[in-house]
Amino acid sequence: MMKRIGMKVATLAAFIGLALTGCSGDDGQNGKDGEPGQPGQPSIPVATDAKVLTVEMGKISVGTQSDITFTVTNEKALPVVGLEKFGFILSGLEEGMEGDASNWSLLSSEACPASKYSECGTLTDNQDGSYRYSFVKDVTAEAAFDITDEKTLRLVLRTGGEAVGSTEISYANTHYDFRGQGEEALYSKNVVNNQNCAGCHDDFAIHGGKYTEVETCVSCHTDNKMGDASKVFPMLAHEAHIGVISAPVGGCDNCHSENEQATDFANWREVPTAETCVTCHTEVDFKEGVNHWPYADNSQCANCHTPDVIESLHLGTYQGQNERRKNLHLTVTDAKMISQPQAEENQGKEGSFVQVTIDILDKNGVSRNEQLDKVNYLYYAEFYINWGDHDQGLGFGEGVADGRGKVLRVHTNKGPYEGYSEKPIVVGYNNGKTTYEIGPFSMEDKFKGDVTDLYGTISPRIWFCMDAAGESIMDCDGETDWSNGAAGYNWLEFFNTEGLMEERPRRQIVTNELCGDCHGTTTSADGFVQMTLNCRNCHSKAGDGEFHGTTCVSGNVDSNEQILLKDLMPRGERDWTTASNAAEECMACHNANVVPTQVIRDAHTKQGDKDYVEQLTMSHPDQKVWIHAMHANNRANQSGEGWRRNVEYSADLANCAKCHTEDSFDAKYLVGRKPLALDLDYMDTYTDPTNPVNGRYAVDGVADAYVSPTAAVCLSCHGKRAAEEGEDRKQVRAEVVAHMKQNGAQFGVTLNEYTGEESCSVCHDLNNLKESHNLK
């Protein structure tokens, strides 16, 4: 299929040459001869240095002998002469007929200087910034494509890989779509481009960095060049991403999103072909009629697989999930910290308590006038609560004071583990609003003292049951109704001792949009965006035995009581995703007070290992550490050859701006933060040494050592080196640890030994961080 285009192709400006025409008029006399020029030297000012090269096309002649002219200038618009390294790819676009997609065919791929991979035609440097190139190949002899005056051709011109003055120029590709002898193209095919890819990737570059545009890939990875059909670009791209990327499988719009350059972004649903579909639907053999009736060609595909049907099949559960979510909303109408409990069950307990009032609203925002703990249509309704963040005038949270926080499990699919999923305590019900009391919360922090005047956070985890059509809420019977149900939208509320806070007190560090660039997003009709992040990608699920519902185990236990780690990969069903609020709600548990769990030790680091403390530090569940370490593949259960927990981050790890808003990665925000808690003797003191399976709960750790916060964050990315021969995993960089210790960092010290006197930000201020991370 092709798209006719009526826009003017600005890049095909008719550059004919740099010769200047004379003024009109004649004085009747011949002018004097000029001074003779120096052989081989330009007679006009030219660039002596360059950071960026700009290419402008001139004449294009395609045929038995194909020739092009072009000019190259630097960022100051000065001509660049003396260049010797270029690449030239010429392709043609065949318009799809009879259901086939429009396809590119490679006509010629040449480069100068010549190599074993490509020939070099005749390259002429005119010493004025203009160049001429004559192709070696007679492109009219390519059997896969007949050149006509109407068909679109594409020229990709590669520059870079050589020095201009003292600067080594990076590779760059420029593509030009045209027809005939350089005329404006009538149509083209641009399904995805670099703008689509930039959500997950940084600079797009493959094959040694020489090719930097998706338009280059589609021009060369064509069916007339690739002997293996899986190497043709659509199939190659699908295979590289499907089931591998962090966004849900089936979410075609993760990559096929609309932008001003991706004019054919909807091609995935408008032009169904067996060649493309089989890259995901590998169980289908269209030719032989396996799991699909036999077909002779693509001409009949669109009869059944219309754009609406295709979108519904791939995104219907995802889009339907958004629609279903609207049917029910659990809203917190009030939350506050109180110094004395009101509930009889909480009398005599030391500490303060949080009272939370919740109303059940329908899709119109009207109260259903039902007591939350007495309804039967909620598969689970849990509220994650913690306390202790505050500002100190810098606009950032100091860190919660109460360990893993508390979870108000009004309805839960968790097992009845003591101290983990207690029966909710109701202190009042009035006009549809149910008030619960949960605690106690400690109001004394080891490092901050009294924390009464701070604030807390509350965030829900909701799933309600519906009928198979997704139209009516119904009571959960434990069969199929909950799987037809919907996850409520996640949100984050802030509260203090007075009640809910109207303004957000915590600085914004990441956003749903930034995280969603890789993990996907869901967007409601009113524009509310949430990141699509499935916690079950990592965490245990039903069937994982004793661990399910109690720990962050990321796997299960075999008959020999060994940890079996799950693959870290996206879920297959798009409607099973969890809408997350930029993962902020995770901090209720993922904070500095929570020690790394037992699974980390049994998996890949144990007491007595020389790098035990450093491994625990990089495997810490604290939000600001585990996110960095996980993406950097530095946790203790990652980074081994062939290990299933490995993460291949698609962007440059040094690009802090990929995830952070503005300058939120400034090291000043770590100064004075709470140290990370460790439990170094956990192996000797966990719940039941005689029964390791039942003793590996994530809630029974006791802090006995601490790590400086800035060092922990920096170590999470910088703390390991690649494995060398004979080593089965990445190794801790002892020199980095030593450098940190020399500047005040402490690793694995007791509470009495901890001083909190890191000096990292003295040298590593914002400007230094930006410079060292190439962010300037």
**Cβ count near 736 (within 10 Å):** 17
Predicted pLDDT of residue 287: 87
Q: Is 300 within the bounds of a domain? A: no
Angle subtended by helix axes 623-631 and 709-718, to nearest 10: 10
Peptide bond into 709 cis (omega under 30): no
Among 353-367, 432-446, 525-539, 655-669, which stretch is predicted with the lowest mean pLDDT?
525-539
Check whether 291 has a pLDDT greater than 80.
yes
In angstroms and rounded to an integer, the radius of gyration of the C-alpha atoms of the chain is 32
Residue labelled with tokens 């949270």 = 397
317, two tokens: 């559960």
Q: CA 597 to CA 539: how far, in whole Å? A: 13
Pick from 511, 546, 565: which residue ends a domain? 511
SS3 (DSSP) at 279: coil
Q: Is 573 within the bounds of a domain? A: no
pLDDT bucket at 537, cuts 50 / 70 / 90: low
The pLDDT tens digits of the residues spanning 689-716 come to 445 444 445 566 789 999 999 999 999 9
Closest C-alpha among 503, 525, 521 to residue 512: 521
Q: Is 532 within the bounds of a domain? A: no
Question: Which residues make beta-bridge pairs with 721?
Answer: 731
What is the average pLDDT across 132-161?
96
Closest C-alpha among 193, 111, 194, 182 to residue 152: 182
Are residues 257 and 334 part of one domain? no
Predicted pLDDT of residue 423: 87
The pLDDT tens digits of the residues spanning 24-71 come to 334 445 444 444 445 555 578 999 999 999 999 999 999 999 999 999
pLDDT bucket at 393, cuts 50 / 70 / 90: very low
Closest C-alpha among 670, 571, 569, 587 to residue 627: 587
What is the average pLDDT across 286-297?
90
**Terminal CA-to-CA distance of the chain, rounded, Å?**
43
Among 337-351, 430-444, 448-462, which stretch is predicted with the lowest mean pLDDT?
448-462
Predicted pLDDT of residue 609: 85
Are residues 615 and 481 part of one domain? no
The CATH number of the domain holding residue 178 is 2.60.40.1940
Predicted pLDDT of residue 266: 93
189, two tokens: 């095919």
The pLDDT tens digits of the residues spanning 319-329 come to 666 778 889 99
Check whether 662 has a pLDDT greater than 70.
yes
Q: CA 581 to CA 488: how far, in whole Å? A: 12
Q: Residue 412 sits in which domain range?
A: 323-511
Q: CA 489 to CA 494: how far, in whole Å? A: 17
pTM of the full structure: 0.84
Are residues 704 and 606 part of one domain? yes
pLDDT bucket at 415, cuts 50 / 70 / 90: low
DSSP assignment of 8-71, as one string?
Answer: --GGG-----SPPPPPS---SSPPPPPPPPPTT--SS---S--SS-EEEEEEEE-SSS-EEEEE
Check whether 592 has a pLDDT greater than 50.
yes
The pLDDT tens digits of the residues spanning 165-183 come to 999 999 999 999 999 888 9
Q: Give the 3-state secondary structure percentages of the chain, helix then strand then coil, rounded to 5.
A: 20, 25, 55
Closest C-alpha among 11, 80, 71 to residue 52: 80
Are residues 336 and 265 part of one domain? no
- Choose between 64 and 316: higher pLDDT: 64
720, two tokens: 């390991």
Q: Is 298 within the bounds of a domain? A: no
What is the average pLDDT across 512-523?
84
Are residues 245 and 99 part of one domain? yes
SS3 (DSSP) at 540: coil
Q: Is 284 within the bounds of a domain? A: no
The pLDDT tens digits of the residues spanning 758-775 come to 999 999 999 999 999 999
Pick from 457, 486, 511: which residue ends a domain? 511
Q: What total number of domains does the chain contain?
A: 3
Are residues 256 and 174 part of one domain? yes
Pick from 451, 476, 511: which residue ends a domain? 511
Among 115-129, 357-371, 583-597, which stretch is predicted with the lowest mean pLDDT?
583-597
Among 221-225, 313-317, 496-500, which stretch is predicted with the lowest mean pLDDT?
313-317
The runs of H, that is alpha helices, within 283-363 are 301-304, 307-325
Are residues 606 and 483 part of one domain? no
Are residues 504 and 372 part of one domain? yes
The pLDDT tens digits of the residues spanning 472-482 come to 999 998 777 87
Among 117-131, 366-380, 511-525, which stretch is predicted with the lowest mean pLDDT?
511-525
Are residues 327 and 252 part of one domain? no
Q: Is 33 within the bounds of a domain? A: no
- Phi/psi for 612 (5° steps) reads -55, -50
pLDDT bucket at 418, cuts 50 / 70 / 90: low
Q: Is 537 within the bounds of a domain? A: no
Are residues 344 and 255 part of one domain? no
Are residues 475 and 351 part of one domain? yes
- Choose between 627 and 637: higher pLDDT: 627
Q: Is 538 within the bounds of a domain? A: no
b/e sequence 366-389, b meaning 16+ C-beta within 10 Å = eeeeeebbebebbbbbbbbbbbbb
Predicted pLDDT of residue 323: 77
Are residues 247 and 333 part of one domain? no
Among 304-318, 357-371, 663-677, which stretch is predicted with the lowest mean pLDDT?
304-318
Closest C-alpha among 72, 44, 79 to residue 57: 72
Q: CA 91 to CA 104: how far, in whole Å? A: 6
- The mean pLDDT of the chain is 84
